[in-house]
Amino acid sequence: MRYLTADRIFSGLDYLPENTVLAISQEGILKDITTMEDIDSYAIEHLEGILCPGFVNTHCHLELSHLKGTIKQHTGIVDFGLGVMKHRNDQTEDEQHKAMLEADAEMQKQGIVAVGDISNTSASIKAKLQSPLHYHTFVELLALNPERADLVFNQGRELLEEYERSKLSASLAPHAPYSASLELIGRITNDCYSRKQPTSIHNQESTAENEFFTHKTGDYLRLYKTINIPIDYFKPSGKSSLQTIASSLNPKTKTLLVHNTFTNQNDLETLEKQDRSLYWCLCPTANLYIENTLPDIAMLIENCTLTLGTDSLASNSHLSIIEEINTILKHQPDISLEILLRAATYNGADFLGIEGDFGSLMKNRKCGINLIQGNAGSYSVKKLA
Ligand SMILES: [Zn+2]
């Protein structure tokens, strides 16, 4: 048994009293949360830094791991997306699998214990089965044409069943407002509700997305032209993408909105009037990689339940939650570390429905124990259990 204390101990929700001691078994199970008075002082290890539960990465694309360093930075979302399509199958299945194992190993080293992972294929099943991390897979579906909703939904169910047969937690997810019809979004989020599973959707990652919905102009017309998909049926709504799709999202399904780079106060006010189970995922390093900008993080902190995600190695050089925290603090040093740690632990676990096992310090659970050291903007993490 190790008895650990540190400058501060964060529970997943808040800081614990100063004299708290964590008792951790050799197997990495948190056996007790006690006080210094109850343990022989010679047995207690005093650590410099902050102890906290293992991190939850709520947005990753493990199957894009082989694209590390392939796609240029700051191109904007349309050219980024075209780059992913072009290079996705450049490498053999074996090479792709090897890249996924390396990405998974990096996440373990970075103190991540659970991952919400977007998948378009079954390619990541093998790596997920080999991993000690908890994965929840979002089987991602795309079809802007409402006439394709049934077909794509049924194909998605078949892929979902492959994950379920492998005993992996999984649910369906629409890709993004600009790539999923309101019909498809409705079918998916209703399906998730009936299965009591969360869903996820990329949201307002570019100004082009809002332009496309408001006026049917902008860079997304170039995307659909380049990939040769006619979109004559698509009608602009005169509203932002989020306001357009909001009524199609089942309000009772836990829904992760990912990126939110161009979400504004008006969007939040529109959604505020509705009773919804929304979580908002920040992937700041990927935002800088693709669009070279960041969301209005202060506004989101004030109004929303936040989680953190790394996105994929196609748009990030690390799969590390502490690096996402560093990115935020480098740009906005006033943001409280406590809020970011809660996003990185409890909120992510709560979204994925695994808060009984992960995301907070709980007795008799293997929730992961991380030690954070260093200074704001350049923190490092050491996985202790
Ligand atoms: Zn993504």
Q: Say how many Å lie between the CA of residue 45 and the centre of ligand 1.
A: 40
Q: Say how many Å lie between the CA of residue 151 and the centre of ligand 1.
A: 23
> 351: alpha, beta or left, given left = phi > 0 and alpha = psi -120 to 50?
alpha
| Res 274: pLDDT | 77
Q: Say how many Å lie between the CA of residue 100 and the centre of ligand 1.
A: 16
| Res 165: pLDDT | 98
Q: Say how many Å lie between the CA of residue 283 and the centre of ligand 1.
A: 9
Q: Say how many Å lie between the CA of residue 136 and the centre of ligand 1.
A: 14
Q: Say how many Å lie between the CA of residue 235 and the centre of ligand 1.
A: 25
> Which domains, and CATH codes, for the chain?
1-53+359-385 (2.30.40.10), 55-358 (3.20.20.140)
Instruction: Tally helices (H) and strands (E) across the chain.
Output: 14, 14
Q: Say how many Å lie between the CA of residue 202 and the centre of ligand 1.
A: 6
| Res 276: pLDDT | 87
Three-state SS string across 238-251, please?
A: CCCHHHHHHHHCCC
Q: How many angstroms from the chain centroid is the CA of residue 318? A: 14
Q: Say how many Å lie between the CA of residue 176 and the centre of ligand 1.
A: 9
| Res 275: pLDDT | 78
| Res 179: pLDDT | 97
Q: Say how many Å lie between the CA of residue 332 and the centre of ligand 1.
A: 23
β-strands 199-203, 278-282 pairing:
unpaired
Along the 385 residues of the chain, how does pLDDT read in single tens digits? 999 999 999 999 999 999 999 999 999 999 999 999 999 999 999 999 999 999 999 999 999 999 999 999 999 999 999 999 999 999 999 999 999 999 999 999 999 999 999 999 999 999 999 999 999 999 999 999 999 999 999 999 999 999 999 999 999 999 999 999 999 999 999 999 999 999 999 999 999 999 999 999 999 999 999 999 999 999 999 999 999 999 999 999 999 999 999 999 999 999 887 778 999 999 999 999 999 999 999 999 999 999 999 999 999 999 999 999 999 999 999 999 999 999 999 999 999 999 999 999 999 999 999 999 999 999 999 999 9
| Res 273: pLDDT | 77
Using CA atoms, how far residue 157 sits from 13, 137, 177, 300, in Å, is 35, 13, 20, 33
- In angstroms, the CA 30 to CA 53 distance is 10
Q: Say how many Å lie between the CA of residue 170 and the centre of ligand 1.
A: 16
Q: Is 93 exposed, middle or buried (0-12, 13-18, 19+ CB in 10 A)?
A: exposed
| Res 115: pLDDT | 98
